[in-house]
Chain A
Amino acid sequence: MMDCRQASRLISEAMDRPLSRAEQLQLSMHLLLCRNCRNFRQQMQQLRQGIRQGRER
């Protein structure tokens, strides 16, 4: 099972490229069990959104 360090790296990469099937599977297994990484993923989306809104202003 992947750890948070690896999961967070994949969460970041998923924002820039499509993950492979295997990566997706491993990541979603991890996310299912890990609230910290789920929160991290959400924060990354908020970061992207915040920048887009700030940029368009």
Chain B
Amino acid sequence: MPSDHEIEAERPYLLRYARSQLQDAAAAEDAVQDTLLAALQGRERFAGGASLRTWLTSILRFKLIDVVRRQSRESTIDLGEDLDLADLDAVFDGSGHWAHAVRAWGAPEESLLAQQFWQVYQQCAQVMPKRTAMVFAMREVMDMDIAEICQNLDITATNCSVMLYRARLSLRECLEIRWFQREAT
């Protein structure tokens, strides 16, 4: 059974994870706090097969989904901003071709990268509409499939795929400016 200390030691990792999903820092901390409490109380359920971090992350995922559900119930469900693809008009020209050439990104060196890339990704995620960022995080950070995301957020598969598409285009642009150009200079 994991000790208090071992569980507590995972707090920074869990916080980082939670903050990557929720823009609301206070809500992220609450979710982590709830997770650690649940883990301390239920530590005999930790089977030991998976790593402690994996087990804690799986608890945190449920807490995060609760938060998102609560938030989407509180706010009126207006996906207008999230589904508006008009800002992509600058990405493509009138004939549907890329307005600017898409240049290959170099293969970044692994070691340095993971950490810095993650930071840049988090900055870039902040400029996306809230729910779009959430859908992207559920898909790419939490590894949920479309059906799970739709069910949890009560949106259609089509809306979900529009939001993912938009998130990817937006992250691509942002990463290119903040990350790959910096590399080149």
CB-CB under 8 A from B17, the residues of chain A are 55
Q: Which of A4, A44, A50, A53 contacts B168 (CB 8 A)?
A: A44
CB-based A-B contact count at 8 angstroms: 92
Query: Which A1-19 residues have C-beta < 8 A from chain B?
Result: 3-6, 8-9, 12-13, 15-17
Which A-chain residue is minimally distant from B125 (CB atoms)? A51
How many B residues, CB 8 Å from partner?
Answer: 35
Q: Please classify the interface of chain A as helix (H, G, I), strand (E, B), loop, or mixed, using the class held by over half of its residues.
A: helix
Question: Could you give, for residues 13-57 of chain A, a 1 whenever the CB lies within 8 Å of some chain B CB and a 0 otherwise?
Answer: 101110000000000000000011101101110111011011111
Given A12-B164, A51-B118, A53-B117, A17:B92 Cβ within 8 A: no
Q: How far is the CA of A40 from the CA of B102 in the complex (A)?
A: 6
Contact B117 A54 (CB under 8 A): yes
- B158 CB to nearest A CB, Å: 10
Say if the beta carbon of B55 comes within 8 Å of chain A: no
Say if the beta carbon of B26 comes within 8 Å of chain A: no
Q: How far is the CA of A46 from the CA of B164 in the complex (A)?
A: 16
Which B-chain residue is minimally distant from A47 (CB atoms)? B171
Contact A51 B165 (CB under 8 A): no
- A53 CB to nearest B CB, Å: 4
- A12 CB to nearest B CB, Å: 4
Candidate in A9, A37, A51 with the most chain B CB atoms within 10 angstroms: A51
Which A-chain residue is minimally distant from B88 (CB atoms)? A5
Query: Which B16-51 residues have C-beta < 8 A from chain A?
Result: 17, 20
CB-CB under 8 A from B145, the residues of chain A are 16
CB-CB under 8 A from B110, the residues of chain A are 53
- B95 CB to nearest A CB, Å: 7
Contact B104 A39 (CB under 8 A): yes
CB-CB under 8 A from B141, the residues of chain A are 51, 55
A residues bordering B, Cβ < 8 Å? 3-6, 8-9, 12-13, 15-17, 35-37, 39-40, 42-44, 46-48, 50-51, 53-57
- 5 A/B residue pairs, CB under 8 Å, sorted by A: A6-B96, A40-B172, A42-B105, A46-B107, A47-B140
